[in-house]
Amino acid sequence: MSSADEVQPDVVAAFKGGTYRFMGLELLVQPGALVPRAETEILGREAVAAAEAHGSTPFVIDCCCGSGNLGLAVAAKVPGAKVWATDLTDGCVTLARKNVQHLKLADRMRVFQGDLFASIKAENVDGTVDVIVCNPPYISTGKLESDRKTLLDHEPREAFDGGPYGLSIHQKVIREAPALLKTGGHLLFEFGLGQERQMKALFDRAKAFRDLRFVNNASGAPRVAVAIKQ
């Protein structure tokens, strides 16, 4: 499986074809948004399981939604789920909205534009969210200017640049998510290879979550974090 921190040859093919399959769904792709990686299906499966654990009508937020792939997977596979997705850039929001229409899920999925949860917080939903799933950028700025520079040949910097250490967005989401989540609500992330120790430190420092666990990829490397609001 390939991940966002690797060059993926079929990214170019996806752009040429205009579609890409993710968790069995045919998604539209276009420049300005990350092409979903196969390894992100690990996070998708965990998000679906977390949503199902909250009953028949869970409320799910897909933060840093990109093409909308994670939120769409939850909406498609959990028929009673209400899903809100959010992203900062015009390209991602436009594409995510196109995918919602393409998969005929507009009755249960909305796409907002803003910095992380800024636009959603205006909806006054604090303490009502069951699941927040987030696949943020997690490559350090320095690596994008050196050995990972080729990632920017076809996809936007915003999809990859996670700040000086690659975890700037994770840190912000861990800080802001507790206000939105119910007690017992789930927060899930994808993160880069070798970042599990830093991820644990961020959760420990927040003191807002319990039962942190990591989910490994097929090679045995931790790639997804799952935690529950205290």
What b/e sequence results for 171-191 when a residue is b if at least 16 CB atoms lie within 10 Å of its CB, and e otherwise?
A: bbbbeebbebbeeebbbbbbb
The residue with greater pLDDT, 35 or 174, is 174
Tokens of residue 179, six digits: 């206000």
Distance between CA 173 and CA 41 in Å, rounded? 21
| Mean pLDDT for the stretch of residues 124-152 | 76
Q: Give residue-wise pLDDT tens across range 79-130.
A: 999 999 999 999 999 999 999 999 999 999 999 999 999 999 889 999 999 9
End-to-end CA distance of the chain: give it in Å, rounded. Answer: 33
CATH superfamily label, 10-229: Vaccinia Virus protein VP39 (3.40.50.150)
Residue 164 has a pLDDT of 54
Residue 11 has a pLDDT of 63
In a 10 Å sphere around its CB, with 0-12 CB exposed, 13-18 middle and 19+ buried, how is residue 89 labelled? Answer: middle
